[in-house]
Amino acid sequence: MRPRFLVTGTLVGALVLFVWQSVSNGTLHLAEPGLKPFQTDSMAVAAKSIRALAPQNGMYYSPYGVLAAVDISRDYAHKGSQFVSMMVKQFLLDIGVVLILALLMDRLAEQSVLRTGAIFGALALAFMGMIDVANHIWWGYAMPWTAGNLIDQVISFFILGVTLSALSRRFAEPRIATAERQGVRSQGGLAATEAGARTGR
């Protein structure tokens, strides 16, 4: 593994991934059609009602069709106040994910830049499809939410695959042309080779 590619690819790939995540969530809102706000949720009424049923933060479920992730602060502060810290944690997560993928780049057969992006996108579709569609099946996650997340992840990993492949080629070690050159087979076989050897004496 080339150290220069590993460092540069991880940092650039994480930045590209983070930028796309910001665009997909902040501008395109790919998954938001599946989210519905609680009605009349002024003064954290919904949060206070849920806190009565979920005294501690964590994951809660009911066999009657409820799955909830509870992360309510003691003073019922708006989650927007944690925006910066959550963005930092997300970027650190992106670095970890890209580092793993960068380590796997040398394990992939040499492909074109776009083909590598397509492979990454297909892997994202398979793995994230297994998770997101399973949540739709078992817990009723909204289909717009499921589809939006799948599209987001496929595009994310396609862009990441293209980025890492391009950087891998950029930092590729130069190859010696003669080292991989295949031998030329004589049309006349062994006899022709011996004749050529006598001629060269």
Q: Quickly state the pLDDT bin for 193 (edges 50, 70, 90).
A: very low
Reported as a single tens digit per residue, the pLDDT across 31-42 is 788 888 888 777
Percent of the chain surpassing pLDDT 90: 46
Count the neighbouring beta carbons within 10 Å of the beta carbon of residue 1: 10
Is residue 121 a contact partner of residue 154, using CB atoms and an 8 Å limit? yes
Q: Which has the minimum average pLDDT: 6-15, 168-177, 184-193?
A: 184-193
Whether 84 shows a pLDDT value over 80: the answer reads yes
pTM higher than 0.75, yes or no?
A: no
**What are the start-end ranges of the E strands in the chain?**
58-62, 66-70
Q: What is the mean pLDDT of the chain?
A: 84
